[in-house]
């Protein structure tokens, strides 16, 4: 067990911001306790007013989760960049001050955000859960908690369309199958994508079936930590039209546009 104190960190807000579909609130009411399945592991996280607990050994925390949760980034610094005259953005960032941009697994995020298109968060979680149960490797932690890994490209490439439909994936079933086959054949090399800059990675990802501009930008932001990626969905689009009729000041937020996008998305999601 590792206990830390950290400003600008809220596991609840990270969960609710909808960037990770396998981070879920656990049963207990009134306490912030969450379960995360990621990177082939299962981790429980608790948070009280002044401390955060990671239920794992010190070594695992240092080697895996510190990076995953972006704990070495100073989010106060990012807040400080916000234009004092931009009351809307100040409000949005203050509201979501505990959000962090995670470093998630590339393959898992590709499939997750293909599923996310024209879909709502609740159903996205359900679809991914079904996919993992059906195709992921079953594991059990030392404490006896069982969970399912995210299925590999190999396994998903072998899945029949019929079985994928059974996971409520709808028309996205074909996209998932095609994408798994592309990766398996090496038409898109994920290890190579991980080394590319933002524009190159985005273009390469868009070669995958079911990955367009918006989904590619989500993948760049949530898996590759390309924090300049600024995914524009229907909600963000409405906000931009309403709050920034003369255009969003991307220049001012260079290197942090994606983080700002998350503050706006979360604020809009929870308040409108």
Partner DNA sequence: CATCAGGCGAGAC
Partner DNA sequence: GTCTCGCCTGAT
Contacts with DNA, residue ranges (CB under 7 A): 17-19, 113, 116-123, 165, 168-172, 175, 206, 208-216, 218, 222, 231, 233-235, 265, 269
Query: Quick one: 16 or 32, whose CB is closer to DNA?
Result: 16
Alpha-helical runs (H) found in 136-233: 153-158, 161-165, 172-185, 190-193, 198-205, 213-222
Distance CA 45, CA 123 (A): 24
Q: How far is the CB of 216 from DNA (least distance, A)?
A: 6
Distance of closest approach, residue 113 Cβ to DNA, in angstroms:
7
CA max distance for the chain? 55
With both helix axes pointing from N to C terminus, report the angle between 106-116 and 213-222 in degrees, rounded to the nearest 10. Answer: 140
Query: Rounded to the nearest whole angstrom, what is the least distance from the CB of residue 235 to DNA in the complex?
Result: 6
Q: Tell me if residue 23 falls in helix, strand or coil.
A: strand
Minimal distance in Å, beta carbon 22 to DNA? 13
Q: How far apart are CA 124 and CA 129, in angstroms?
A: 8
Query: In terms of CB distance, is 61 or 179 closer to DNA?
Result: 179
Q: At what angle do helices 257-271 and 234-243 cross, to 10 degrees?
A: 100
Residue 119: how many other CB atoms lie within 10 Å = 17
Q: Across 14-90, where does the E strand assignment appear? A: 23-25, 32-38, 41-47, 52-54
Q: Is 254 a catalytic residue?
A: no
Question: Taking the complex as a whole, how short is the minimal distance between the CB of residue 119 and DNA, in angstroms?
Answer: 6
> DSSP E strands: which ranges in the chain?
2-4, 23-25, 32-38, 41-47, 52-54, 138-140, 146-148
Nearer to DNA, 50 or 234 (CB): 234
* Residue 78 or 176 with smaller CB distance to DNA: 176
What DSSP element (H or E) covers 124? helix 121-135
Is 169 or 193 the residue whose CB approaches DNA more closely?
A: 169
Query: Of 134, 207, 214, 270, which is the active-site residue?
Result: 214
Q: Could you list the active site residues?
A: 214
């Amino acid at each position: 067990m590792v206990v830390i104190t950290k400003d600008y960190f809220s596991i609840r807000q990270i969960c609710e911001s909808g960037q990770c579909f396998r981070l879920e609130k656990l049963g207990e009411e009134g306490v912030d306790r969450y379960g995360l399945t990621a990177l082939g592991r299962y981790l429980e996280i608790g948070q009280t007013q002044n401390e955060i607990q990671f239920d794992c050994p010190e070594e695992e925390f240092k080697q895996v989760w510190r990076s995953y949760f972006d704990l070495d980034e100073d989010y106060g610094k990012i807040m400080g960049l916000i234009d004092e005259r931009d009351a809307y953005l100040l409000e949005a960032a203050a509201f979501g001050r505990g959000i962090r941009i995670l470093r998630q697994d590339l393959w898992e995020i590709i499939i997750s955000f293909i599923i996310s298109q024209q879909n709502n968060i609740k159903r996205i979680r359900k679809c991914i859960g079904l996919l993992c149960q059906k195709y992921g490797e079953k594991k059990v932690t030392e404490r006896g908690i069982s969970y399912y890994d995210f299925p590999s490209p190999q396994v998903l490439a072998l899945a029949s369309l019929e079985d994928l439909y059974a996971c409520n994936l709808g028309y996205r079933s074909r996209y998932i199958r095609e994408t798994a086959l592309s990766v398996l054949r090496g038409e898109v090399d994920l290890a190579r994508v991980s080394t590319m800059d933002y524009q190159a990675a985005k273009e390469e990802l868009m070669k995958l079936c079911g990955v367009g501009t918006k989904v590619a930008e989500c993948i760049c932001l949530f898996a590759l930590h390309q924090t300049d990626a600024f995914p524009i969905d229907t909600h963000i689009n409405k906000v931009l039209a309403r709050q920034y009729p003369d255009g969003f000041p991307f220049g001012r937020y260079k290197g942090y546009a994606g983080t700002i996008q998350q503050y706006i998305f979360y604020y809009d999601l929870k308040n409108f």
